[in-house]
A and B are shown apart, each in its own frame.
Chain A
Amino acid sequence: MRLVLEVHDVTTFYGDSQILFGLSLQVQEGQVVTLLGRNGMGKTTTVNSIMGIVPPREGEIRYGSRLISGLPPYRISNLGIGLVPEGRQIFPNLTVRENLLATAGNMSAKKDPWDLERVLAFLPSLKARLRNLGNHLSGGEQQMLAIGRALMTNPTLLILDEATEGLAPLVRAEIWSRLKLLKTEGQSILLIDKNLLALMRLADRHYIIEKGNIVWSGSSRELEAEPALKARYLGV
């Protein structure tokens, strides 16, 4: 299997405060990989490091064989990483349609790329909202839009930070089913969420982060077999 993303021994700071302490993780092609951990452990910081939003001070991040740590966010995105950020961060002053189109592109030169039509068929709840401004959407619709917006860049690796946070159960179920579908199409995904049960069903591999370091990694079955882990690191 081919390596899509390799985070190696990364150290990241906000100003003087160090958040990541030599963090490493890997995503293989076609895998769904999760990053688990309690609040404030550095999951979003890991995402920001990968995306170049907060460039790591030490360590290396590779996308395929290419070194991407040190590149500006737009170049990292252009190489084929699509971000569904924490808090969704829809453009509030753009319509749904514009949110989807503004940053669209076929970054990884896919043969059968995502376009407006395909994204709307995949996320039908957006169809009736195309002319609405981003800030007029419900939380669930915003998350669908954030997913659609990232897919419109045709990423090789999709990163979702807090995929279902603050959403109603029905909407969550919808999102899990969409992600499942993406996985069957071979989409590589790095996934952050607190809904352990759903994650275990969906993902191939899990990383547990504690105070800026990976303290455990393994498959869903291995995680299932160690209830102590959940109590200790995930607070469940």
Chain B
Amino acid sequence: MDWNLLLTQFLNGLQLGLLLFLLASGLTLIFGIMDFINLAHGSFYMVGAYFCATLTLLTGSFVLALLMSVAGVFVVGLVIEASIVRRLYQHDHLDQVLVTFGLILCFDTLVHLIWGPEGMAIPLPRLLDGQITVGSLVFPTYRVIIIVSGLLVAIGLYVLVMKTRLGMLIRAGASNRVMVSALGVNINRLFMIVFALGAALAGLSGLLIAPITEASIGMGNEIIILAFVVVIVGGIGSIKGAFFSAVLIGLIDTMGRSYLDDFLKLFMSIQNAETAAPALSAMLIYILMAVILAVRPQGLFPPAGAR
């Protein structure tokens, strides 16, 4: 067994998991609290990446571009909520799915018009572009940065939702929005903030991955499906659930892709294992989802007091 490879893959899985968490945390809040299904959540992921690419070129500073982009996607989220999404809360899920699917097409076309069909790379500052060596393990610095910032955001989000007044209102709004407004809180504004916050987190996720993969049209469309799996496995509306299921799914997906063939070779022919492994590893998380839903239909960590 190559322990360095295992550790590297573990870190890669963790990184994927944390990026998924950033994407899924907003999705789960929006789904859990506003009962709104936003297929276009992945578009914020893409927009974040493009904003950051352009702003990095303009400002010359990745970190500055990062901050500005997150703020920018927050504003985009506000605008989309106020102009389109707000009208859909009262509609059923099918309408929401149709409209937000349309939104994906609009976003993709808009990005195509503004930035062209080619992807955009984001150059990293030298400081972040190196490698960290621990013993015989060599791991790119930037991936460590992704992991650390994902963990920090997770902690921050947990504190926000569990410890602050805004978080109390978010949770209260999830259980009884009429009562929240009858007690003096502007629920429309609250929803708008939650939506934009979710958008900003998705944008952060997209711009963090873009220096590795580059910003490209439709980059959010694949990962949003994974993010929905994360939301459902974790328990709709649960930040804690989103965190653990995102990390779990990130790890299983990454590990499956690199180790499943070895594993299958233990009890089938090498040739069969090599054909079965890629197909199976692509399905692994969906199998996981099916199993978890069969055992715990509410997901791993349904929000406290959920009915």
Contact = CB atoms under 8 A, between A and B. Distances in A.
A83 interface: yes
B272 interface: no
B169 interface: yes
B87 interface: no
A182 interface: no
B152 interface: no
Interface in A93-116: 93-94, 98-99, 101-103, 105, 107
B178 interface: yes
B184 A105 contact: yes
A42 interface: no
A107 B306 CA distance: 30
A81 to B, nearest CB: 9
Contact of A93 (B180, B186, B304): B304
Nearest to B172: A91
A83 B183 contact: yes
Given A93-B171, A94-B168, A101-B168, A53 B182 contact: yes
Contacts of A51: 182
Range for the number of chain A residues in contact with chain B:
20 to 34
Contacts of B305: 91-94, 133-135
B54 interface: no
A93 B174 contact: yes
Contacts of A89: 176, 179
Nearest to A99: B172
Question: Which of the listed residues A82, A91, A107 has the most CB atoms from chain B within 10 Å of its own CB?
Answer: A91
A149 B168 contact: no
B276 interface: no
A135 B304 CA distance: 10
A73 to B, nearest CB: 4
Interface string A111-135: 0000000000000000000000111
A218 interface: no
Interface in B54-98: none
Contacts of A73: 178, 181-182
A26 interface: no
B182 A85 contact: yes
A91 B176 contact: yes
A55 to B, nearest CB: 13
Given A101-B165, A133-B304, A153 B174 contact: no
Contacts of A149: 183
Given A92-B305, A102-B169, A135-B305, A77 B175 contact: no
B210 to A, nearest CB: 36
Contact of B172 (A74, A77, A94): A94
B176 A74 contact: no
A77 B184 contact: yes
B48 interface: no
A103 B307 contact: no
Contact of A92 (B180, B184, B307): B307
A44 interface: no
A78 interface: yes
Contact of A74 (B165, B181, B303, B306): B181
Contacts of B148: none
Contacts of B307: 92
Nearest to A133: B305
Given A102-B172, A153-B184, A93 B179 contact: no
A225 to B, nearest CB: 37
Contacts of A101: 165, 168
B179 A85 contact: yes
Contact of B185 (A99, A103, A134): A103
Interface of B: 165, 168-169, 171-172, 174-176, 178-187, 303-307
26 contacts: A72-B181, A73-B182, A74-B181, A74-B185, A74-B186, A74-B187, A77-B184, A78-B184, A85-B179, A85-B182, A89-B179, A92-B175, A92-B305, A93-B174, A93-B306, A94-B168, A94-B171, A102-B168, A102-B169, A102-B172, A103-B183, A103-B185, A107-B184, A133-B305, A134-B305, A150-B183
Given A92-B307, A99-B172, A102-B180, 10 more contacts: A74-B182, A77-B182, A93-B171, A98-B172, A102-B168, A103-B169, A103-B185, A105-B184, A133-B305, A150-B183
10 smallest CB-CB distances across A and B, nearest first, come from: A93-B305, A77-B184, A103-B183, A102-B168, A92-B305, A73-B181, A91-B172, A74-B181, A73-B182, A89-B179
